[in-house]
């Protein structure tokens, strides 16, 4: 695979904090994944900023996916509430006008 095609579950810090607090107060054990269900490649995120993209060479050992299993956390009532796509659009529009 080429650089920039790595897929990630980009998650807003407030969603992560809410998940950590919920798991800390009501969870027991391990495997409480906290991550947005939206998945984007690194290149897709860069393209959302509508600027010039400079690709770095591929690095050996780079993970191509980073799946987050959120079933136990969602069973406690957590879910991500913020979209990185919407966040970038809003911040780009407010900062570049």
The answer to whether position 2 is within a domain reads: no
The answer to whether position 28 is within a domain reads: yes
C-alpha torsion sign, points 82, 67, 46, 18: positive
Amino acid 60: pLDDT: 78
Find the domain containing 36 and state its range.
Answer: 7-95
- Average pLDDT per 10 consecutive residues for the chain, totaling 97 residues: 84 96 96 94 92 84 83 97 92 69
The answer to whether position 1 is within a domain reads: no
The answer to whether position 12 is within a domain reads: yes
Number of domains making up the chain = 1
């Amino acid at each position: 695979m080429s650089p920039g095609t790595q897929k990630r579950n980009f998650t807003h810090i407030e969603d992560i904090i809410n998940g950590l607090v919920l798991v800390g107060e009501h969870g027991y054990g391990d495997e409480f994944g906290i991550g947005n269900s939206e998945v984007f490649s690194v290149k897709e995120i860069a393209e959302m900023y509508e600027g010039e993209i400079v690709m770095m060479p591929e690095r050996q050992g780079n993970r191509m996916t980073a799946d987050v299993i959120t079933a136990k956390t969602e069973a406690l009532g957590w879910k991500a509430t913020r979209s990185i796509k919407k966040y970038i659009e809003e911040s780009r529009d407010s900062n570049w006008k």
